[in-house]
Amino acid sequence: MTEALLETRGLVKRYGPHTVLNGIDLHIAPGQMTCLVGASGSGKSTLLKCLNLLEPIDDGQILLGEEDISEPGRDPQPLRQRIGMVFQSYNLFPHMTALENALLAPRRVHRKPRTEFLPAIEALFERFGLSAHMHHYPDQLSGGQQQRVAIVRALAMKPQVMLFDEITSALDPELVGEVLDVLRQLRAEGMTMILATHEMAFARELADTICFLDGGRVIEQAPPAAFFTAPEHARTRAFLARVL
Name the site residues for other proteins (rule: CB under 8 A): 49, 52, 54, 76-78, 80-85, 87, 89, 91-95, 104-105, 108-109, 139, 150, 153-154, 157
Contact, 202 vs 178, CB < 8 A? no
Q: How far is the CB of 171 from other proteins (least distance, A)?
A: 16
By CB under 6 A, tell whether 10 contacts ligand ADP. Answer: no
CB nearer to Mg ion: pick between 20 and 102: 20
By CB under 6 A, tell whether 15 contacts ligand ADP. Answer: yes
Query: What burial class does residue 122 get, using C-beta atoms within 10 Å of its C-beta: 0-12 exposed, 13-18 middle, 19+ buried?
Result: middle
By CB under 6 A, tell whether 115 contacts ligand ADP. Answer: no
CB nearer to other proteins: pick between 53 and 175: 53
CB nearer to other proteins: pick between 104 and 240: 104
Instruction: Residue 180: name the closest of 162, 201, 158, 155 by CA.
Output: 201
Q: How far is the CB of 198 from Mg ion (least distance, A)?
A: 10
Q: How far is the CB of 165 from other proteins (least distance, A)?
A: 10
- Residue 197, CA atoms < 13 Å, CB-side half-sphere: 27
| Number of neighbouring beta carbons within 10 Å of residue 126 | 12
Pick from other proteins, Mg ion, ligand ADP, none: which does 103 bind, CB < 5 to 8 A by kind? Answer: none
Query: What's the rounded Cα separation, in Å, for the pair 179 and 144?
Result: 6
Pick from Mg ion, ligand ADP, other proteins, none: which does 177 bind, CB < 5 to 8 A by kind? Answer: none
Site for ligand ADP in 19-48 (CB under 6 A): 20, 38, 40-46
Footprint of Mg ion on this chain (CB under 5 A)?
45
3-state SS of 113-129 is CHHHCHHHHHHHHHHCC
CB nearer to ligand ADP: pick between 38 and 144: 38
Q: String of b and e for 28-45 (b: at least 16 CB within 10 Å)? A: bbeebbbbbbbbeebbbb
CB nearer to other proteins: pick between 135 and 233: 135
CB nearer to Mg ion: pick between 169 and 221: 169
Interacting residues with ligand ADP (CB under 6 A)? 15, 20, 38, 40-46
